[in-house]
Structure 1
Amino acid sequence: MVILTLIGNFLILLLLHMWLESRKNKITYTELSFSSLPKQFSGMKLFFISDIHHREVNNCILKEIQGNVDLIIIGGDLTEKGVPFSRVEKNIKSLTKIAPTYFVWGNNDYEVNHFRLESILLNEGVKILANSCTSFKRDSETIDLIGVDDFGHRFDNLEAAIKECNGDFQILVSHNPDIKKKLREVHNINLILSGHTHGGQIRLFGYSITEKAGLSKLKNDLYILVSNGYGTTRLPLRLGAPAEVHIITLKNGVVD
């Protein structure tokens, strides 16, 4: 009887811990140096958030990024079936007040009326990157932000997106990190931002059906950052893959 009580208490504490992990407002700070980054853009800060799903972006995060980031990038799965559009609109209004905001589609975004979702985004001034590219120019130097449509639905078209680019440095945003399988040398991508996997969401003894999220160096001057994401789908629980958002600082410098 005592053993059963102990097991029961342990399970209750474990579930509480997993729920708290799913509700975290952790900001992961990353500084990346690139020899190819134009000097005019050294110090540029990106706020990256993916897989919001059912959550509302917490005020503590909004306060932290206010006046502290240059661009906001939403890496897909802003919503899913069952999330009220009022919550989506509130999140978008909160983010667009802070900095220019960019969005790529995720697989769960297509579970809802995506025409209505698109309307909300456009009405709030969000730039949707769906197999397209937008450029930023400072003096004579240019960087590109590329976004592909959802890889899982086979809506992505990296070639079409890249054709629009002419910058000296390129950031690719894809909800699904498997876009890396389509990269070729001629694409000259420097940084990939993705989510989708939730870092496994529930990792038992460090293992899950998906790879651990985080930052990886694919080759010289090419990194991929896969986020744990901010929300959850199906179960509102996490273990070993806490909810997170990112502030990424780009630096011009020698890559180790």
Structure 2
Amino acid sequence: MNRRSFLKRSIGSLLALIGIGGGTYYYARDIEPRMLQVQNVKIMDASIPASFNDFKVVQFSDTHIGFHYSVEQLQKLVNRINEENPDLIVFTGDLVDEPHLYTWNNDLINVLQSLEAPRGKFWIYGNHDHGGYGTEKVRDVMEASGFTLLQNEHSVIEQNNERIILSGIDDVMLGSPNLRQALENVNPDLFTLLLAHEPDFVDVAVDYSVNVQLSGHSHGGQVRLPFIGHLYTPKYAEKYVEGKYLLNDGNLQLFVNRGIGTTRLPYRFLCKPELHVYTLHKE
């Protein structure tokens, strides 16, 4: 950590400790984490087929169920997603905060099963899903819930004899991501969406035929202070933290979702939980 980063985090932490007392503490713990913000985004690209105009993709990420986020809260989120009538639903990782300690039951499966999308529900591993945490258990739950795993692979989404590509990689931190394998035999002229839990992976994706990358992992920093911004983001979410980024002269768009739940600390401040609703348009 360089001197500037150290001073930024030290001052920010001090201000957070001072400000998080009383009403601010209550707001950051009990109010803002429940203030879902829906981001409606138009994705425009010349390679989007005409038949996919107004095609709607909903992304949710980082629920971290079990750490101050319950299955009952997830049900409310599912209801909100279904209100959007999405064509496609994608989940970009970190379903449960600590899978090896979580009490698994069918309630979670029943809630996730109730998500509705005629063109499919897809997901990728996040770091909290993977490694020594509970790789197989999370996979079994998502499969039982009707989600298709994209682990260094892709799926062809077809509509009126026209196609787009939805691809996904394994988790960067605890998995074995392989974008070359994920895009094997893919026509590079087709519009391609990539799901990658860690947003900084976009610096690898920029060398491939990817039009849009959807990520989570950062939580937007969870706590953001005026004039300072986020205090901390995890590894591989240090460069791209939230919102939209353009790379490769605008030919690659990155969207970083702030996630739904919290982790490590149960607070959100000036960093509301986020749901993305993307609508495709041929440019």
Paired-residue identity, %: 28
Aligned pair count? 245
Deviation at 1:112, TM superposition (A): 3.5
What is the RMSD of the two structures over their aligned residues, measured on CA atoms? 2.3
User: Which amino acid is the alignment partner of residue 214 of structure 1?
Assistant: G
Q: Which residue of 2 aligns with 1:17?
A: 27
Of residues 35, 38, 56 in structure 2, which corresponds to 1:27?
A: 38
Q: Is the 8 A contact 1:135 1:165 kept in 2?
A: no
Q: Which residue of 1 aligns with 2:210?
A: 189
Query: Are 1:65 and 2:71 counterparts?
Result: no
Unaligned runs of 5+ in 1: 1-6
Q: Which residue of 2 aligns with 1:225?
A: 255
Deviation at 1:39, TM superposition (A): 1.0
Of residues 94, 106, 117 in structure 1, which corresponds to 2:126?
A: 106
Deviation at 1:84, TM superposition (A): 3.1
Q: Is the 8 A contact 2:199 2:241 kept in 1?
A: no
Q: Which residue of 1 aligns with 2:104?
A: 85
Of residues 228, 252, 256 in structure 1, which corresponds to 2:282?
A: 252
User: Which amino acid is the alignment partner of residue 121 of structure 1?
Assistant: M
User: How far apart, CA to CA, are the structure 2 residues paired with 1:163 and 1:8?
Assistant: 52
Of residues 159, 167, 173 in structure 2, which corresponds to 1:146?
A: 167
User: How far apart, CA to CA, are the structure 2 residues paired with 1:133 and 1:174?
Assistant: 12
User: How far apart, CA to CA, are the structure 2 residues paired with 1:159 and 1:10?
Assistant: 46
Deviation at 1:25, TM superposition (A): 2.2
Q: Is the 8 A contact 2:36 2:273 kept in 1?
A: yes
Change in Cα spacing, 1:245 to 1:184, as seen in structure 2 (3 Å) is: closer
Q: Is the 8 A contact 2:78 2:114 kept in 1?
A: no
- Listed one character per residue, the Cα deviations across residues 72-92 of structure 1 (whole Å, up to 9, x for unaligned) are 100000112143323542442
Unaligned runs of 5+ in 2: 1-16, 234-239
Range that drifts further, 15-24 or 140-149: 15-24
Deviation at 1:10, TM superposition (A): 7.1
Deviation at 1:17, TM superposition (A): 1.5
Q: Which residue of 1 aligns with 2:200?
A: 178
Of residues 44, 49, 52 in structure 2, which corresponds to 1:38?
A: 49
User: Which amino acid is the alignment partner of residue 80 of structure 1?
Assistant: D
Range that drifts further, 123-132 or 57-66: 57-66
User: How far apart, CA to CA, are the structure 1 residues paired with 2:62 and 2:84?
Assistant: 23
Q: Is the 8 A contact 1:33 1:251 kept in 2?
A: yes
Change in Cα spacing, 1:133 to 1:125, as seen in structure 2 (3 Å) is: same
User: How far apart, CA to CA, are the structure 1 residues paired with 2:124 and 2:209?
Assistant: 20
TM-score, scaled to structure 2: 0.79
Change in Cα spacing, 1:42 to 1:52, as seen in structure 2 (3 Å) is: same
Q: Is the 8 A contact 1:30 1:248 kept in 2?
A: yes
Range that drifts further, 139-148 or 8-17: 8-17
Deviation at 1:151, TM superposition (A): 0.7
TM-score, scaled to structure 1: 0.87
User: Which amino acid is the alignment partner of residue 79 of structure 2?
Assistant: L
